[in-house]
Structure formats: structure tokens, C-alpha cells
């Protein structure tokens, strides 16, 4: 039951983008098309899950025993950067179209504060390795859900006559705010 609560909380109630405001740069930048958003969401799911496992193990088996927990952030950044490079190489070979579609945003995963934030949050919350993996996957799915829903709304907005002063970023920010408020409706679930 605890895993179900972690999943529901991470995806809906405490959505990493819409409630905790982490990962706003890719959320706003990659969410022009549903296909690109879904690809970015998939890449984030993969990188976040692997990064959480590696950072958890590094923290509990290297940093804590050596009493050098103060190196947590820099270590996590290095691990995440290496994993993103691996994902970039794999995408380039497996799906060149997705690699082209993501363009400059794939390297943004390296500096995506969502991934670093989750790696730090699992330690702060005192999760076990299994709970950490469930939390990471659920958080990444929540990130992907928010991006895909937002991309769908943005695609629909292209078909609507929006006043010139509101086109682009202004209407996107207002829409993101309304989406965040909609997700606040899930707050009573958990």
C-alpha cells in the first residue's frame, strides 16, 4: 500500500513540475509537440530511474561510510551527466529521428534539476532502495504526464485565434499555471 501512495503522490499530488516547480526549462521548451514531449518524458524516465539507483548506492555505500556526504551534490551531478551522455549515444543509434527531434534539449537533461532533485529527495525522505526506485519512476512518469498534457494543450492553442500580445510565452505561462491549479485538485487523495 505504501508503494501505491508513493506512486499517486509523485504523479498527481506532488507533481515535480506542477507542484514543486522543478524541471521548468524542459517543460516550457520541449512541450511544443506531443511526440517530442513523450520522447523527452521517456528519456527522463530512463535517466531518472538509473540515476536514482546509482546515486542511492553511491550515497549509502561510498559517501556515508567515508563520511563525505558533503560531496553528494557534485557526485550526483557527475553521475547524471555521464548517464545523459549514455542516453544520447543510445538515442543517436537507435532512434535518429527522436535524437533530431529532441535536438538541444537532450543535453538539457544533464542540467535538469528534476533528476538531481529526485536523487536528493530520496535521501532526504529516507527511502529504501526499492522505495527510491518506485518514487523515481513515478516522479518521472508525473513529469512526462505533465509535459504531454501541456504539449497537447499547446497544440490545440495553435488552432485558436489568440490575441497577438498573448501568443507564445505569455499564453504558455498562463496555461501552465492553470494546469498546475488543476493538479492541485488531487491534493485530497493522499
**Structure confidence by residue, pLDDT tens digits, 80-132:** 888 888 878 888 888 888 777 666 666 777 777 899 999 999 999 999 999 99
Please tell me the distance from the alpha carbon of residue 87 to that of residue 35, in angstroms, as a whole number. 18
CA 76 from chain centre, in angstroms, equals 15
3-state secondary structure the chain: CHHHHHHHHHHHHCCCCCCCCCCHHHHHHCCCCHHHHHHHHHHHHHHHHHHHHHHHHHHHHHHCCCCCHHHHHHHHHHHHHHHHHHHHHHHHHHCHHHHHHHCCHHHHCCCCHHHHHHHHHHHHCCCCHHHHHHHHHHHHHHHHHHHHHHHHHHHHHCCCCCCHHHCCHHHHHHHHHHHHHHHHHHHHCC
188 falls in which pLDDT band (50, 70, 90)? confident
**Structure confidence by residue, pLDDT tens digits, 9-68:** 999 999 999 998 888 888 888 788 898 888 888 888 888 999 999 999 999 999 999 999
pLDDT at 168: 85
The number of distinct structural domains making up the chain is: 1
Structural domain for 114, as ranges:
2-188
Q: How far is the CA of 121 from the CAs of 7, 20, 59, 126, 145, in angstroms?
A: 15, 12, 12, 8, 20
Q: Please determine, for residue 183, whether its predicted confidence score (pLDDT) is greater than 80.
A: yes
Question: How many Cβ atoms are within 10 Å of 94's Cβ, its own excluded?
Answer: 9
pTM flag (> 0.75): yes
Amino acid at each position: 500500500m505504501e508503494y501505491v501512495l508513493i506512486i499517486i503522490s509523485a504523479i498527481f499530488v506532488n507533481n515535480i513540475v506542477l507542484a514543486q516547480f522543478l524541471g521548468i526549462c524542459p517543460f516550457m521548451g520541449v512541450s511544443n509537440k506531443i511526440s517530442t514531449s513523450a520522447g523527452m518524458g521517456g528519456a527522463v524516465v530512463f535517466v531518472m530511474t538509473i540515476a536514482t539507483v546509482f546515486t542511492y548506492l553511491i550515497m549509502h555505500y561510498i559517501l556515508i561510510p567515508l563520511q563525505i556526504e558533503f560531496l553528494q551534490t557534485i557526485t550526483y551531478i557527475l553521475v547524471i551527466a555521464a548517464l545523459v551522455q549514455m542516453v544520447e549515444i543510445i538515442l543517436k543509434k537507435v532512434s535518429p529521428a527522436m535524437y533530431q527531434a529532441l535536438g538541444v534539449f537532450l543535453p538539457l537533461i544533464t542540467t535538469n534539476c528534476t533528476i538531481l532533485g529526485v536523487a536528493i529527495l530520496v535521501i532526504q525522505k529516507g527511502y529504501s532502495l526499492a522505495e527510491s526506485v518506485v518514487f523515481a519512476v513515478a516522479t518521472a512518469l508525473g513529469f512526462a504526464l505533465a509535459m504531454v498534457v501541456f504539449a497537447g494543450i499547446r497544440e490545440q492553442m495553435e488552432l485558436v485565434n489568440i490575441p497577438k500580445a498573448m501568443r507564445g510565452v505569455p499564453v504558455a505561462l498562463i496555461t501552465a499555471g492553470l494546469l498546475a491549479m488543476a493538479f492541485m485538485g488531487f491534493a485530497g487523495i493522499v
